[in-house]
Amino acid sequence: MIVETGHYALVLALALALAQFAIPFIGARLNDAALMRVARPAAITQFLFIALSYGALTYAHVVSDFSLVNVIENSHSLKPFIYKISGVWGNHEGSMLLWVLVLSLCGALIAIFSTSMADRLRADALAVQGLLGAAFLLFILLTSNPFARVAPAPWEGRDLNPILQDPGLAIHPPLLYLGYVGFSIVFSFAAAALIGGRIDAGWARVIRPWTLFAWIALTLGIAMGSYWAYYTLGWGGFWFWDPVENASLMPWIAGTALVHSAAVMEKREALKVWTIFLAILAFSLSLLGTFLVRSGVLTSVHAFASDPDRGVFILAILVFFIGGALALFALRAGALPVGGLFSPISREGALVLNNLLLSACCATVVVGTLYPLALEAITGEKISVGAPFFNTVLIPIALPLAMLMPIGQMLSWKRGDLTAALQRLRIAFVVGVVATAAFGARYGTPFLSIVAAGVAVYLFVGALSDLVLRARGRSGLPSFKRLAGLPLSAFGTSIAHAGMGLTLLGLAATGWGVETIVAMKPAGFYDVGPYQIGIDSVSPRQGPNYSEVYAVMAVRKDGVTLATIEPAKRFYQARRMARSEAGIVTLGLGQVYAAIGESHEDGTIDARLYWKPLVTLIWIGALVMAFGGGLSLADRRLRIGVARRAATPALEPAE
């Protein structure tokens, strides 16, 4: 009964989504306030119904209701409780339900928090949001129903894929979806602004917090996923340029560009057309990613063609929304007035260059991801586009971009002084050069790692020195009081950029990792970078729904044991699948990483042992970036209050 209620709630949500689209949209055209007012309660109720539906599916998973196909295929009565909850989104149907849950949450957030804007803009934005919700609800109900029953119900489920039985599954997907789908808010506002025909700094002020919110969630989601891959997959890889990863990277890059161009638009009324375009692009790339992952087209063009119902449906959604938004853009963008003017050497100019480089990165990732599919579809030729390609073409764009970041911070709006900006960065330059030399002396190779690490250090110091310089009083010394008086967004920019520097340093340091692949003898110690690792014991152990063999290893330096790690090899009975649990210990900013494999009759056990210097900076940097974004968001929130009085009249429809 609960399951049927959930199914029915989903159908009702579809009806509400259609109402949320049609009634306010018509109201906005007729300028009927009563009809437009329907948008907010509709959006909130739609969210509540989808939440009810989602709760029903979660209930079915928690009580192991094996009359549901979705539960049979992804759960097991012995599965730990937390994975019964997170397993709800560890499959196609459930993850699509989470997708629409987040989408409707975004609609509800607009309805609740966007009190300060013109009714018509909000009505149109919520109408677009409603239409998006209707499309994806229809997709779930017609092609991916999570509430499908089966009779007779089996006694036991097939369990969740072991790789997904990890705390990572509990955190990563919701964050990533919040980011992915969060861009729908920006998309809806862009479409609404194009429909209404008015776009100004007030509009940029409305979308900036939402953009930042989605960007922060996506940053954290990608970082979390990457760390999850790192500790789960057993050899310490954290990014593979897999199409599914690229699917999350594309909207992130576009979103990063959008955060910056929206800043220009808000401050200077410039780059309007471009900002609107990016707002459409960021969510379009989210939709493209959803299509790539959900349609099966990645596995093979032929798989897509032979089992096309889901793929074609999402493709239709994709074409309708992206095509519709771009058509609207083409119709209306030309009529937008030219905004504030600026000289090429200025903060705006630097941000234009930033957007150019980011767009080139984004285009490269899109082309690299789609090219093999397109080539195979057109010529039948099969090629692979892997990590070597992306590294080769993206590094020459990314490193100059990193060089540019602190310079852009130092330039003033409208007309900047490049020489002065470079002079203010001289400490950063000097520190960067010294760091490059130091890394070169310490490691020698690879060249690229040393250069990238030097750039990273320069970026970190340069980003933070902006704060120090701005806190300088008349005496020329930075004062704490002045520092505290700086706007939060200044901290946000500097800290986010510094975070990028940290991540870049962590990435560069992967070139200095040490790997030892060895059949370990019980008594021996093996060198891994500055440490020695030896096995104390190897024993079996029983978990709730798996059995495992684990090794206790001691990590030593100069004869002193610093830590013990327990890499394990697990076997999940229900799926007859194995997974490895890496043994990891963080020492300083680096990590010792161990994974075990086959044991042999002579008592040795195959192991891969790694020393990964500075590797934690990759994820620490992402956390710092997100924190910087959060600071800016906090600042913007204050500004929304200011904008409330200034922006509302400007956004009134010009009847």
Subset of 538-567 contacting other proteins (CB under 8 A): 538-540, 547-549
Query: Judged by CB under 8 A, does residue 79 bind other proteins?
Result: no
Nearer Cβ to other proteins (35/247) = 247
Q: How many CB atoms lie within 10 A of CB 17?
A: 29
Nearer Cβ to other proteins (22/171) = 171
- Tokens 């709800």 locate to 88
Closest to 298 (Cα-Cα) out of 374, 243, 363, 240: 243
Nearer Cβ to other proteins (299/423) = 299
Task: Please pick, from the candidates 48, 85, 303, 377, the single residue that binds other proteins as defined by CB under 8 A.
Answer: 303
Which phi and psi angles does 97 have, rounded to 5°? -65, -40
The size of the interface with other proteins (CB under 8 A), counted in residues, is 110
Which of the residues 195 through 224 are near other proteins (CB under 8 A)?
221
Return the structure tokens found at 249: 């990277």
**Nearest distance from residue 156's CB to other proteins, in Å?**
12
The whole-angstrom separation of Cα 492 and Cα 413 is 18
Nearer Cβ to other proteins (8/389) = 389
Query: Judged by CB under 8 A, does residue 596 bind other proteins?
Result: yes
- Tokens 């040490």 locate to 514
Query: Judged by CB under 8 A, does residue 341 bind other proteins?
Result: yes
Query: Judged by CB under 8 A, does residue 299 bind other proteins?
Result: yes
**Nearest distance from residue 158's CB to other proteins, in Å?**
8
Alpha carbon 26 to chain centroid, angstroms: 35
Which of the residues 145 through 184 are near other proteins (CB under 8 A)?
161, 163-164, 168-169, 172-173, 176-177, 180
Query: Judged by CB under 8 A, does residue 6 bind other proteins?
Result: no
Which phi and psi angles does 43 have, rounded to 5°? -65, -40
Which of the residues 624 through 653 are near other proteins (CB under 8 A)?
none
Which phi and psi angles does 532 have, rounded to 5°? -125, 140
Give residue 561's identity as a one-letter amino acid code.
Answer: T
Query: Judged by CB under 8 A, does residue 599 bind other proteins?
Result: yes
Which of the residues 33 through 72 are near other proteins (CB under 8 A)?
none
Query: Judged by CB under 8 A, does residue 519 bind other proteins?
Result: yes
Asked whether the beta carbons of 191 and 327 are under 8 A apart, the reply is no
Nearer Cβ to other proteins (116/359) = 359
Span of 190-198, 447-455, 515-523, 556-564 interacting with other proteins by CB under 8 A: 515-523
Asked whether the beta carbons of 60 and 87 are under 8 A apart, the reply is no
**Nearest distance from residue 356's CB to other proteins, in Å?**
4
Pattern of binders to other proteins over 469-498, x per CB under 8 A?
A: ------------------------------
**Degrees, nearest 5: CA angle 164-367-290:** 35
Q: How many residues does the chain have?
A: 655
Which phi and psi angles does 602 have, rounded to 5°? -80, 10
Pattern of binders to other proteins over 385-404, x per CB under 8 A?
A: xxxxx--xxx-xx-------
**Nearest distance from residue 323's CB to other proteins, in Å?**
21
The whole-angstrom separation of Cα 643 and Cα 207 is 12
Query: Judged by CB under 8 A, does residue 344 bind other proteins?
Result: yes
Q: Are strands 590-599 and 605-612 parallel, antiparallel or unpaired?
A: antiparallel
SS3 state of residue 165:
coil
Query: Judged by CB under 8 A, does residue 295 bind other proteins?
Result: yes
Give residue 594's identity as a one-letter amino acid code.
Answer: A
Strand partners, 528: 531
Span of 1-9, 463-471, 497-505, 568-576 interacting with other proteins by CB under 8 A: 568-576
Query: Judged by CB under 8 A, does residue 364 bind other proteins?
Result: yes
Q: How many CB atoms lie within 10 A of CB 511?
A: 17
Query: Judged by CB under 8 A, does residue 381 bind other proteins?
Result: yes
SS3 state of residue 398:
helix
The whole-angstrom separation of Cα 135 and Cα 512 is 48
Task: Please pick, from the candidates 289, 416, 492, 613, the single residue that binds other proteins as defined by CB under 8 A.
Answer: 289
